[in-house]
Structure 1
Amino acid sequence: MKHLNKLFIAALMFAGVTSQAQDSNNPWAVSFGANAVDTKISMSGNDKLVFKELLNAQDNWNMIPSVSSLTVSRYVGDNFSFGLTGSVNKISKMIDKVPMTSSTYVVSNPGDLSYYAIDGTIKYSFQDMLKSKWLDPSAHVGGGYTFFGDASAGTVNGGLGLTFWLTEHVGISLQSSLKYSFDDERTPDADVPTVMQHFAGLTFKFGGKDTDGDGVYDKDDACPETPGLKEFMGCPDTDGDKIADKDDSCPEVFGLAEFNGCPDTDGDGIVDNEDACPEVKGTKIMKGCPDADGDGVADKDDNCPEVKGPKANAGCPWPDTDGDGVADKDDQCPTVAGTVANNGCPEVSEEAINKLNSYAKTILFNSGKSSFQKQTMPVLQAITAILKEYPSANFMIEGHTDSQGSDSLNQKLSEDRAAAVKTYLVENGIDAARLTSAGFGESKPIDSNKTSKGRANNRRVEVKLVK
């Protein structure tokens, strides 16, 4: 029975005045319980500590049968907490070494000395490291002031603790602290010896705030004013699709995680609220609608759903009147077959250029003037007809003279004659934007200016294709 009492007292005792495993949710803690003071620890040569029979409660420990310690502490972050402990006791067992011996100790009563201590402690919890919800070992350091009978002195403290958390807020705490005194003597009422102090008791954490009462503290509650679920950091999941409403794009309709909580009725990978055809499987590029002919126009908008056609023509192919492979809308010559390279118009052949210049060389002007002789009108009409066959081609009208007369007069005459031909062509239906004119005077002869025949050849108009 005596041994059972010892074990019961030790189990009760080891929870004293510590408040371990506090956290930012419940930053405050209060601990109360019993404490025992063990005086069988002394200094011996060169300030080395000698520990002897630390757990021999029958011989070493001083205890009183009541709550004898109280701690208030606060979590300060990163697994650290700071606490202030007050404890009381009565010293009726003083352990001293017998002089002239190395291991013989004697127990004496120094006179039921009163013991009071106030200690500040910085503790570090290893609970996070263990990833345990109930087992919480810790280490602590600190200092305090002890009244030992009529004597008093400061101490430097350090030790270990262990808390078993029964609930989130309540735990059984055990702690042992070495209280190192700089007083090297052990005379009752005159000195404060170095001792071991053990604590056992209950710890209560508090201070956490849960405004909406959903069991998730406001600090960790993503929706602190709306009751929710712990798995969603305190936020609700109205449609039950396992996606919190705050992250659910469709919070009132059961949906899929891959679509942020929205449904995809037709299973085409496009959520219903973005699917233009939510009940018919389609493609993403068509915003969820089908495109049977693959022309990029959804069937619902395609006037020719089985035949490829451009969107601009409601999914139907463009007409090509002349059948040259160039749609009428892009064909500059929609009724005349041409080439794609020439925008649907026929290419100007070398034969056509030769014919133009053959006609151009026969254009006759009144002597020294830019006016046409009457008999040249059929020639100009023939040139006009050829140009109309090539409505997308551009041409240069060049004027040339022989060497009779001054250079300046010849230059101006050649320019005027080329311009006269251009004017005639424009007046007879040729787009002015397709024509340019220039005069070169006598600078580009094609024959000798020493004979009348040569000079007649040099007086000419040429038509050139502008590429």
Structure 2
Amino acid sequence: MKHLNKLVLAIFMFAGLSSQAQDSDNPWAFTFGVNALDGGRVSAAGSIEDQFSQYFDAKEYWSVVPSVSYLSVSRYVGDNFSFGLTGSFNRMEKFVQPRGEDGKYVVETVDLMYYGVDAVVNYSIGTFFKAFEPTAHVGGGYTFLGDNSAGTVNGGLGLNIWLSETIGLGLRSTYKYSFEDDRSVMPTHMQHFAGVTFKFGGKDTDGDGIYDKDDACPEVFGLKQYNGCPDTDLDGIIDGSDACPDIFGLAEFQGCPDTDGDGIADKDDSCPEVKGPKELNGCPDTDGDGIADKDDKCPDVKGPKENQGCPWPDRDGDKVFDKDDRCPDVAGTVANNGCPEISEAILSSLRDYAKTILFESGKATFQQRTFTVLQNITGILKEYPNARFSIEGHTDSDGKDASNQKLSEDRAAAVKNYLIENGINASRLESKGFGESMPLDTNKTKMGKANNRRVEVKLIK
């Protein structure tokens, strides 16, 4: 344990968090100083009020090592918040027990080495009278006390007194709550800090008195009125904001000229010598189709942008452009993507043929006389090469539901496979089985069951 404590202390000497707030000009802060322990009196107190009633009684309850006993480093993260770690050590010489019968605390003499590392989120409340900065902090840490160790949840208040922009004195008190039930293992206690803080990290590369983070031109010397930037063309627009820093221009055009006077700066004008609308980057559009003449393959005839300004062709004159027409050489309807509609008479023929598709009993194999029917269906489907169809199988109620469902699916798939094998594109077909769930007739008669055992061919719209 002794060697572990030394190792922990050596690590903490290079890491820590200060309660002093930083700012974005000098985001880093390093602090060193002394710390004092209150001997666990706060956890020995019987009430919250009693915990802080003797806060300043340092002689009675505090333990202090007469040397630098804590080091810290922190980083400003914005909105008055900073974050980092504190490493500290001490020697606890006074351990406070609860008040005795006489109403006084019992203070035991101990000799326990104390090592702590604490992560802290610090908030700066604000600076008053240019030098006094109250702070509040929360966080957590891990503490070694003698042979014991435990984690703590921390919180507290502090005060920074800034002697200059980068040097200050810091005071803070931290309440460290221990989750150990046994106070002898790790008592809830307070730790007080007093130290000197050095802020650093600010950078002014060009030496113009403006920090790089605020300098619009950190590599070039400039004046404060231009945020550290020059104005080469003397147009009153700093080079960093001037789109044409070497040519005199107007603020209206970010320091650039507008030769054709169309309200578009030359640098952004695709036709800087000829007036044109802003939506076409300053170029004319003779046919008014929204495409600049320079990009329009048919500048005198309106056409869509997708066809480079030319009208879409429609070879069969059915008002469906060839690009969208599935049958570009045969007039059709818009609703059917330019292909001829399948008439109700044709669909009726398909339904009649489908009713005569017969299978072997309880199987998905066709009866011999069904092949003629399937050939007729195939012929009709080939006459409408762009139409899609759904093959749907149904059974009667004989047998189990699961068996009927599978049989209906297999029969519908058998019809679909026949059509594919005989020249119908598979992408035009889908098959489904509904088992006995959609009867057309009663299942109580032989004729009704025959009507329910069927395959239907339906057009997919």
TM category, shorter: 0.3 to 0.5
- Which of these two proteins has the greater Rg computed from alpha carbons? 1
Normalising by structure 2, we get a TM-score of: 0.44
Normalising by structure 1, we get a TM-score of: 0.43
